[in-house]
Structure 1
Amino acid sequence: MSTLSWFWSRALLMNRSFLWLLFTVNALGTIYGYIWYGDQLIETYEHNPAWQLIFVPDSPTASLFFTLALLYLLFPPKRALTGPAKFLRSAIEALGVVTSIKYGIWAVAMIIAGAMKGSPMVWENYMLIASHLAMAIEALLFTRFFAYGVAAAFGAACWLFLNDMIDYSYYIYPWLPQVLDDILPDVRNFTVGLTLFSFLLTVLAIRLAQRSRSLN
């Protein structure tokens, strides 16, 4: 094994100490994300129906699902799950992967697009770029260790399409750099297209994981 490939090897990714580290970092990032969305959540609560609140914090909810998915690796079931328990695991893992890929890429794209149109880059922007890129990368790396399939990934994509529709119909999408307000239709189209791309990329990752398992 080369030194580089060790960074995405089973020996590292499934090491219990590394999983706990990843769980802790994601859990803390999730908490920070909900705090970051605090003002928008308050504004939405004050001016919109309460049911829309669940559609406001996109990235931290993605991180929450991925954090929960890690628990299945830290505490693997002693017997094969069936029925509702199996459905719940598949839903959590699929949502954790598909949404993390989408919002990991989306946040980076919005920050860069804002900078290209003149929005100032501050330290927080670079921190958000690094953390959101990590979201997308870790989701792809861990797909091979999860138990969900294409059907669950499709369900997660349907949730994202619904979220896109609610976000841009009721204007509760994540607050953007002000310089992007005049290209909101382009942002919306990119966002919807990214949902489809994230689903297809997830399906590709599932197929590659299945092929790898069949060869071993």
Structure 2
Amino acid sequence: MNFIYTYLADRRFLWLLLIINTAGTLYGYYWYEPQIAVTPTIFIPFVPDSPTASLFFVFVLAAFLLRTNWPLFEALAIITLFKYGIWAVVMNFLSLAVMGDIGWQGYMLICSHAAMAIQGILYARFYKMKFWHVLVAAVWTLHNDVIDYVFMQYPKYPGLEIYVREIGYFTFWLSIIGTGIALYYARRCKQGNQLQIY
């Protein structure tokens, strides 16, 4: 397993991840543009879920490249990358089951969001987040669920509106599981692992 971290610590690989995540973040905000255009201003920060998650990770990667850590972004990234990565994979497969076809973009979203869920955890052993960072990130994430499924600002997938209550319930538990993962790594962070970039 350690050979994987040899690649993860390679500065060239970190730059590649930074470029990919930055591009993915920009594309994600573009994907959400039609929904953002009709969203009340007060809710806009909570609407583009996945691109905001990848934006958090962009800050994590930038910190690594600067040979430092930004723990609050680490907590936000690990929870939201896991949550929205898994969420989008499941929603696209559900769309496939309901609609019969999701096109190439749907399959691209499945692959990219699966990678989102994985990458935040791969670097987690090098995070410096503490309990309070995870608490703040958890409040943000659960508040986002309220905005999505109480104020009905959830991401719109054609054909899935009839399942919105079940999707909301599933999303809430993804938030809880993601928070649990973050708490697990926050405890491990006390061991003081440092990403040795070369």
TM-score with structure 2 setting the length? 0.90
Give the counterpart of 2:176 among 196, 200, 214. Answer: 196
Runs of 5+ consecutive residues of structure 2 not aligned to the other structure: 194-198
SS in 2 for 1:76: coil
Say whether residues 1:124 and 2:119 are aligned partners. no
1 or 2 for the larger relative contact order (CA 8 Å, sep ≥6)? Answer: 2
Q: Aligned to 1:42, which of 37, 43, 48?
A: 37
Tell me which moved more, 122-131 or 200-209: 200-209
Alpha-carbon separation, structure 2, partners of 1:110 and 1:90: 30
Q: Deviations over 1:156-207 (max 9, x none)?
A: 11111101001112211111231x2111110110011110011112223344
The separation in 2 between residues aligned to 1:12 and 1:207, in whole angstroms, is: 25
Distance 1:59 1:200, change over 3 A: same
Measured after TM superposition, the shift of residue 37 of structure 1 is 0.5
Instruction: Read off the aligned partner of 2:73 and give its amino acid letter.
Output: I
- Aligned letter for 1:39? P
In structure 1, what is the Cα distance between the partners aligned to 2:184 and 2:100? 35
Report percent identity of matched pairs. 38
Which of 25, 29, 42 pairs up with 1:30? 25
**Could you tell me how far apart the structure 1 residues matched to 2:63 and 2:50 are?**
21
From 123, 129, 143, the equivalent of 2:124 is 143
Give 1:209 shift.
5.5
Correspondence for 2:89 among 71, 89, 108: 108
Q: Which amino acid aligns with 1:148?
A: M
1:1-216 equivalent positions in 2, closer than 5 A: 6=3, 8-9=4-5, 11-44=6-39, 48=40, 50-77=41-68, 89-178=70-159, 180-208=160-188, 210=190, 213=193
State the SS of the aligned residue for 2:123: helix
Cα 1:119/1:168, change in 2 over 3 Å: farther
Amino acid of the structure 2 residue aligned with 1:146? Y
CA distance in 2, matches of 1:201, 1:112: 24
Tell me how far apart the structure 2 counterparts of residues 116 and 208 of structure 1 sit (CA, whole Å). 39
Relative to the length of structure 1, the TM-score reads 0.83
Which segments of 5 or more consecutive residues in structure 1 lack a partner in the other structure? 78-85
Q: Tell whether the 8 Å contact from 2:134 to 2:183 is kept in structure 1 after alignment.
A: yes
Q: Which structure has the larger Rg?
A: 1
Q: 1:193 is matched by which residue type in structure 2?
A: W
State the one-letter code of the partner of 2:140.
Answer: W
CA–CA distance in 1 between the matches of 2:137 and 2:173? 15
* Mapped contact 1:63–1:135 kept (Cα < 8 A): yes
89-98 vs 160-169, which deviates more?
A: 89-98
Task: Check whether the contact 2:129–2:189 (CA below 8 A) recurs between aligned residues.
Answer: no
